[in-house]
Structure 1
Amino acid sequence: MDLGLNGKRAIVCASSHGLGRACAMALAQAGASVVLNGRDGAALDATAAAIGAATGVRVATVAGDVAEDATQVALVAAADGVPDILVNNNGGPPLRDFRALDAAAIHAGLDANMVTPIRLTQRVVDGMMERGFGRIVCVTSASVKAPTGGLDLSSGARVGLTGFLAGVARQVAGSNVTINFLLPGLFATRRLDGVHAYAARAQGVSEEEAAARARARIPAGRFGDPDEFGRACAFLCSAHAGFITGQSLLIDGGAYPGVL
């Protein structure tokens, strides 16, 4: 399917590894030029080279913390000042018992996973509205729908982001600008190793056993492949998804047992 993204410009935050990289690759495969971001310059350059070689599209990089104003300004500039697509993504705070969170840690988690994507949205949304096309996708977490111990700060920040931007989505939809949310369950990324380590300590088992238990709770019988997550992101960014906005798409292999 042609997603109608040839020539579009995409910013994908935290995209040197994992789900962000998968989103960037899928958008590039659909014909969009991409601006990558990450703190590890070497990993960022390697990802840019891989995406460029695989797709032939223009790939730019901006190294730095996406929470910093200078990095945000550079990201928009690298998209020629006119990004059509923004994928808000950032690493979640470390898993820990909520009792161990002091004020500094709470504020840092909220800044990274709620304030930063809101600020980036503010930077790009007016231009998208003026041009009559925009796609904003926020990578949050399955814990938005099914809170999990150890992810309390992540859950709270991402629920706050969802509530804030769900209202904004209705304000900008008439200009063909959509804002949606992707909620990953357990995907085979570096983050998953930390999840297993936390669960192993909490359950008093090995990390291998914790991983086996987690896999057994997923009806699909496996952990997610980042590539399939990236393709879902690309579709929400496509010309065909203009009537989908303010929605939270859970991608977890059926682990969440509810119907809503």
Structure 2
Amino acid sequence: MDLGIRGKSAIMCASSRGLGLGCASALAEAGCALVINGRDADTLAETAAGLRTRYGVTVTEVAGDVSKAEVQEALLAACPAPDILVNNNGGPPLRDFRQLDREALLDGVTQNMVTPIELIRSVIDGMAERGFGRIVNITSLSVYQPIPGLDLSSGARAGLTAFLAGIARTVAGSNVTINNILPGKFDTDRIRSTLVFAAEKAGVSVEEQAKKVAADIPAGRLGTAEEFGKACAFLCSAHAGYITGQNLILDGGLYPSAF
């Protein structure tokens, strides 16, 4: 399917690896010019080179922590009139909530709630004026199904979801959509750290824990960054203008709900 976004410009946050890279790759394949971001400049440069070589699109790199004002400014300077914004950021590390002091709490909320809101605020009016905009926020299945040790991430992402629910309806008439993708268990560095945490707690090997996790997923496996990216690209497509304010769960059937 032609997604109808060839030539569009996209800001893709935290996209040097993992699910962010999966999204960047799918948007590049659709013909978008990309501004990508990551904290490690060397990894980011390697990712950018690979995307240029494989897809033949323009890729601009902005290294740094996207929660920092100067990095956000650099992203917007590189792409002042984006058609697409995909918000992504690393979540707080696994930690019992009793170990979270005020500084850690505020940092988690800044990364996973405040930062995407700041970027959306910067681009949404321009999108509405131009009559096209696609905003996708990568949150987590933990918004619906709590994960022990990720309480701060869950709370901040749930706050983002609620905050944007009404805003999405205010710009739908201008062909600007805001949606969230809630990943379950994907084969990324993040899930590997979760596996280590759970394995230590259960007193088993990481390999045993990985098999147990896969067995609990109706699909029988972890998800891939590639298939995640394809779903993201569709929400960014010209065909998704009637989808807004929604939470798309990608979890292989893990979350047991009829609605």
With the shorter chain as reference, the TM-score category is: over 0.9
CA distance in 2, matches of 1:249, 1:192: 19
- Count of residues in Structure 1 that have an aligned counterpart in Structure 2: 259
Residue identity (%): 62
Residue aligned with 1:123, SS: helix
TM-score (norm 1): 0.98
| Counterpart amino acid of residue 82 in structure 1 | A
Q: C-alpha deviations, 1:100-148, integer Å up to 9, x for none?
A: 1111111110000000000000010010000000000000001011111
- 1:93 maps to 92
Residue aligned with 1:162, SS: helix
- 2:2 maps to 2
CA distance in 1, matches of 2:220, 2:70: 43
Residue aligned with 1:181, SS: strand
Q: Answer with 93-102 or 222-231: which moved more.
A: 93-102
- 2:47 maps to 47
TM-score (norm 2): 0.99
- 2:32 maps to 32
Q: Answer with 96-105 or 19-28: which moved more.
A: 96-105
Q: C-alpha deviations, 1:69-118, integer Å up to 9, x for none?
A: 11111111212x11000000000110111111111111110000000000
Shift of 1:13: 0.2
CA distance in 1, matches of 2:258, 2:103: 37
Shift of 1:12: 0.4
Q: C-alpha deviations, 1:163-199, integer Å up to 9, x for none?
A: 0011110011111000000000111111111110111
- 1:71 maps to 71
CA distance in 2, matches of 1:245, 1:171: 10
- 1:84 maps to 83
What root-mean-square deviation, in Å, do the aligned CA atoms of Structure 1 and Structure 2 show? 0.7
Residue aligned with 2:191, SS: helix
- 1:60 maps to 60
- 2:146 maps to 147
Q: Deviating runs (4+, > 4 A) in structure 1?
A: none
Q: Answer with 44-53 or 95-104: which moved more.
A: 95-104
CA distance in 1, matches of 2:159, 2:234: 25
Residue aligned with 1:125, SS: helix
- 1:157 maps to 156
CA distance in 2, matches of 1:146, 1:214: 15
The gaps in structure 2 that reach 5 residues or longer are none
Q: C-alpha deviations, 1:212-259, integer Å up to 9, x for none?
A: 111110010000010000000000000000000000000000011111
| Counterpart amino acid of residue 56 in structure 1 | G
